[in-house]
Amino acid sequence: MGRKNRNVNKFAQRKREKREQEKNPQVKPSGDTRKDYEEIVRENATFEQYYKTQKVCPEEEWTTFMASLKENLPTAFRITGSKAEADALMKVISSNYFSALLNGEVKDDGTNEIVKPVNVPWYPGGFAWQVKLSRTDIRRSETLYKLHNFLVAETAAGGVSRQEQVSMIPPVALDVKPHHKVLDMCAAPGSKTAQLIEFLQAEEDKMPTGFVMANDVDNSRCYMLVHQAKRLNSPCIIITNHDSAVMPALRVTDPQDPSKTVPLKFDRVLCDVPCSGDATLRKNPDIWLKWSVGNGNNLHGIQYRILKRGCELLAVGGRLVYSTCSFNPVENEAVVARVLREADSSLQLRDVAGELPGLKYIKGMTHWRPASKDMVFYDKYEDVPERWQTVVRPQMFPPTPEEIEKFHLDKCIRILPHHQDTGGFFVAVFEKVSPVPWTNEKDPQSEKSEEKESKKEPPQKKRRIGGYREDPFVFFSGDQEDVYPSIKEFYEMKEDFDAKCLLTRCYVGKKKNIYLVSPIVKDVLKRNEANIKVINTGVKTFVRCDNKNMTCPFRLSQEGLQSIIQFIGTKRRVDILREDLIVVLQNDNPSTPPDISKFTEHTQNQLKELATGSCVLEYKDKESNLRLTLVGWRGVHSLRAYTATPDTVHYLRLLGADTSKYEVNKFKAAEEQSETDVSNVDAMKVSNAEEKQTESVEDNEEDTQTESIEDAEEAQSSK
Ligand SMILES: C[S@@+](CC[C@H](N)C(=O)[O-])C[C@H]1O[C@@H](n2cnc3c(N)ncnc32)[C@H](O)[C@@H]1O
């Protein structure tokens, strides 16, 4: 029997498939079951019997509950970025991309009702939207081609995150602030991690003092997290690859005495655990075919162990969210109750309904009946036949009347699909009021042994982690570092910038990219080198560009600009006017950058004083407070921006400029193709296949686009 290879490189596999598909558009990429989904009979008698018995839904709502589960899932998305940027994008969406929907031009296929976009009431800032159309509906509608293009491009630029509405709840319930140390225990593919980072970075212009550690046991899925982190350009994220049930104990510098360390405890922990996923039936209809009562039973153990470890790593006074996309009380309340039972009042459930205004839900359950695979239900463990006793465990049973009083499981939140036309979801919010009794959190002896552990010598060469070779993380030694003095001089780096937070990914050889991490991230990495498997960290801040008439061999990188700009002096900054920035962005062909004579006198005067090379283009709209900062390049006679295409379009949109050259109407394109003797049907097929491909990878695949564009531009400008 062949052994399952956990370490298949899914990105490489997808790229191979993409190449295959370009040759033959009829070939479906692996995992693309969308067409099959339309053919799936959305029924499962065992599923119905199980959940009817559990009473997961009030009896009078059962028919609506089941009917809703059989419908396709609406599309939901969030607007990201700073408040001013998100406000500007909201305006653009309402006036340009929602116009067909707001004008009542789009109707629901089934009910023929007019489809209107719904603002999600409980999402902070009103930045989340839901439209009662599936992704496929939007993709296939000519009326909505602009909205579709917008969603795809803005997802790539990081202006929008497409995410199921209910999946947005845990990070909001976690209430993350910029100073929090946050652990996301089961993070991949990373939609919630992205939200955590957004909340952490809520204060524009300030580097957060907290950080997010995003962990996943699956090595290849960790690279989906790398993609998310890259979109958000954060110096405050560490991606790790551990079984979170045995997540290592980490240490940080003692703030009272920097010569010592203290255990790292997290202010916020997210346990979005692996689950049977049966509340995602609307998005994943194949679950109708394979649902079994055994799935939930089998997952209870690992869910409990992850939650328990999360509670250990949580700081006293901190908050932990446990969530699943399952309806099953064995995966939900039973896990919560099991940990509360062991916690002996050190943990308490918190009622967060008030923090999610307008969210419809039902309260957590206090009674359920575990079942074995043969669909026999049990009221107590003693009734379970011996052959099922290793599967149906005593801890899966509901709490006693005394425990019901004590645990307050009714503070858990259950969302059913018909509540607000979403998938189902379960959320429990814990607060830690004292150390958990099963660990020796107060015992200095145990802390000492942990300290010894984390003081091991760092590995001197690349480590092999889960089958992949990870490049090392090599920190600068400050002003003594060979390349830093030229960077410091060229960009007039301020004295309070800690160059020791810069790092490269090689011990020897020419440094190509220089990354930046925040001081706390650096501390965590340095103090725990020997016992954490770090997959990625740091935001690309400087990129080598030799032969460019520059006294400094490094240009700025757009990814890291936001994090470093506060430390850059005035010499390399250009205060650019709106009309000039539009000229720069609209002339985005790197081989024909706009001539300096094309700009206003205001901008030209500054450029006269600016030596050739990398610079910062700064634009501020006084009325809206919208501030854009872009990496520019002052050529001998020209000025251009160093932005990848999705970012260019994003900035043009924010500036209210014309983006029509990027708004390809694939339906018109297909028509034109059919006129040139290509079958209309075939052209549409190709176009649809390409888009399916984009959609299937957009949330998952590493974003190589920015890199390749930057490389191409670099090649151009070094000519
Ligand atoms: C429900 S998904 C998480 C979704 C993610 N939080 C998001 O919002 O995108 C569960 C994840 O848990 C990971 N996982 C499963 N067992 C794990 C373990 N023992 N430790 C850490 N991660 C685990 C899986 O690889 C999977 O990526």
Indicate if ligand 1 lies below 6 Å from the C-beta of 186: yes
Q: What is d(CA 80, CA 90) in angstroms, rounded to the nearest whole number?
A: 10
- Count Cα atoms within 13 angstroms, Cβ side, for 605: 5
% of the chain at pLDDT higher than 90: 65
User: For residue 322, which of 341, 308, 312, 301 has the smallest C-alpha distance?
Assistant: 308
Pocket test for ligand 1, best of 6, 166, 186, 240 (most atoms within 8 A of CB): 186
Q: How many angstroms does the Cα of residue 719 sit away from the middle of ligand 1?
A: 46
Indicate if ligand 1 lies below 6 Å from the C-beta of 175: no
- 475, part of any domain: no
Indicate if ligand 1 lies below 6 Å from the C-beta of 217: yes
Lowest mean pLDDT among 49-63, 331-345, 657-671: 657-671
Q: What is d(CA 597, CA 541) in angstroms, rounded to the nearest whole number?
A: 30
Given a cut of 90, whether residue 106 has pLDDT beyond it is no
- Kindly state the average pLDDT of the residues 650-675: 82
Residues 107, 113 contacting (CB under 8 angstroms):
yes
417 shares a domain with 331: yes
- 193, part of any domain: yes
User: For residue 627, which of 59, 11, 84, 27 has the smallest C-alpha distance?
Assistant: 84
Indicate if ligand 1 lies below 6 Å from the C-beta of 216: yes
- The predicted structure's pLDDT at residue 32: 52
Q: How many angstroms does the Cα of residue 516 sit away from the middle of ligand 1?
A: 27
Catalytic amino acids? 325
Is 216 annotated to bind ligand? yes
703 shares a domain with 632: no
- The predicted structure's pLDDT at residue 146: 84
Indicate if ligand 1 lies below 6 Å from the C-beta of 366: no
Q: What is d(CA 425, CA 413) in angstroms, rounded to the nearest whole number?
A: 8
Indicate if ligand 1 lies below 6 Å from the C-beta of 272: yes
651 shares a domain with 690: no
193 shares a domain with 327: yes
pLDDT band at 107 (very low <50, low <70, confident <90, very high): confident
413 shares a domain with 319: yes
- C-alpha angle 581/582/588, rounded to 5°? 95
pLDDT in tens, 682-707: 444 434 433 443 343 333 322 222 23
- The predicted structure's pLDDT at residue 691: 43
pLDDT in tens, 207-261: 999 999 999 999 999 999 998 888 889 999 999 999 999 999 999 999 999 999 9
Is 272 annotated to bind ligand? yes
User: For residue 407, which of 313, 354, 344, 362 has the smallest C-alpha distance?
Assistant: 344
Last residue of a domain, one of 444, 469, 488: 444
| 316 or 137, which is more confident | 316
- 433, part of any domain: yes
Which residue lies with its CA nearest to atom 6 of ligand 1?
Answer: 187
319 shares a domain with 424: yes
Indicate if ligand 1 lies below 6 Å from the C-beta of 423: no
- The predicted structure's pLDDT at residue 702: 25
Given a cut of 80, whether residue 668 has pLDDT beyond it is no
Is 189 annotated to bind ligand? yes
Q: How many angstroms does the Cα of residue 225 sit away from the middle of ligand 1?
A: 11
pLDDT in tens, 354-373: 999 999 999 999 999 999 99
Lowest mean pLDDT among 306-315, 399-408, 584-593: 584-593
How would you classify the pairing of strands 347-349 and 639-641? unpaired
- 19, part of any domain: no
- Kindly state the average pLDDT of the residues 471-489: 83
**pTM of the complete model:** 0.87
Q: What is d(CA 358, CA 568) in angstroms, rounded to the nearest whole number?
A: 44
397 shares a domain with 423: yes
Give the list of residues 6+ apart from residue 140 with CB closer than 8 angstroms, or none.
Answer: 688
Is 192 annotated to bind ligand? yes
- 86, part of any domain: no
Q: How many angstroms does the Cα of residue 189 sit away from the middle of ligand 1?
A: 8
Pick the atom of ligand 1 nearest to 190's CA: 9
Pocket test for ligand 1, best of 167, 216, 426 (most atoms within 8 A of CB): 216
- 683, part of any domain: yes
Residues 597, 604 contacting (CB under 8 angstroms):
yes
Strand, helix or coil at 326?
Answer: coil
409 shares a domain with 260: yes
Given a cut of 90, whether residue 676 has pLDDT beyond it is no
Is 718 annotated to bind ligand? no
| 189 or 679, which is more confident | 189
Given a cut of 60, whether residue 160 has pLDDT beyond it is yes
| 561 or 34, which is more confident | 561
Q: How many angstroms does the Cα of residue 231 sit away from the middle of ligand 1?
A: 20
Domain of 676? 664-719
Helix (H) or strand (E) holding 76: strand 75-79
Is 712 annotated to bind ligand? no
Q: Rounded mean pLDDT of the chain?
A: 85
Amino acid at 573: R
Is 243 annotated to bind ligand? yes
Indicate if ligand 1 lies below 6 Å from the C-beta of 312: no
Q: How many angstroms does the Cα of residue 268 sit away from the middle of ligand 1?
A: 17
- The predicted structure's pLDDT at residue 556: 96
pLDDT band at 709 (very low <50, low <70, confident <90, very high): very low
Identify the residue whose tokens are 């990188």. 557
- The predicted structure's pLDDT at residue 358: 97
Pick the atom of ligand 1 nearest to 275's CA: 1
400 shares a domain with 435: yes
600 shares a domain with 610: yes
Q: Which segments within 70-210 are labelled E, that is strand?
A: 75-79, 118-119, 128-131, 160-162, 181-184
Indicate if ligand 1 lies below 6 Å from the C-beta of 243: yes
Identify the residue whose tokens are 């005593």. 394
Which residue lies with its CA nearest to atom 11 of ligand 1?
Answer: 186
583 shares a domain with 683: no
Supply the CATH number for residue 206's domain. 3.40.50.150
pLDDT in tens, 410-460: 999 999 999 999 999 999 999 999 999 998 776 544 444 444 444 444 444
Task: Give the number of other CB atoms < 10 A from CB of residue 378.
Answer: 17
Phi-psi region of 348 (alpha: psi -120 to 50; beta: other; left: phi over 0): beta
SS3 track for 340-387: HHHHCCCEEECCCHHHCCCCCCEECCCCCCCECCCCCECCCHHHCCHH
- The predicted structure's pLDDT at residue 689: 39
- Count Cα atoms within 13 angstroms, Cβ side, for 7: 7
| Structural domains in the chain (count) | 3
- 2, part of any domain: no
Given a cut of 80, whether residue 718 has pLDDT beyond it is no
CA 371 to chain centre: 36
Last residue of a domain, one of 416, 444, 472: 444
- 474, part of any domain: no
345 shares a domain with 267: yes
Which residue lies with its CA nearest to atom 10 of ligand 1?
Answer: 274
- Kindly state the average pLDDT of the residues 453-472: 51
Which residue lies with its CA nearest to atom 9 of ligand 1?
Answer: 190
Q: How many angstroms does the Cα of residue 222 sit away from the middle of ligand 1?
A: 10
Give the list of residues 6+ apart from residue 170 with CB closer than 8 angstroms, or none.
Answer: 192, 270, 272, 321, 323, 427
pLDDT band at 9 (very low <50, low <70, confident <90, very high): low
Buried b (16+ CB within 10 A) or exposed e, 394-411: ebbbbbeeeeeebbbbeb
Given a cut of 70, whether residue 493 has pLDDT beyond it is yes
Instruction: Give ipTM to 2 decimals.
Output: 1.00
Residues 685, 613 contacting (CB under 8 angstroms):
no
Last residue of a domain, one of 411, 444, 477: 444
CA 311 to chain centre: 23
Indicate if ligand 1 lies below 6 Å from the C-beta of 274: yes
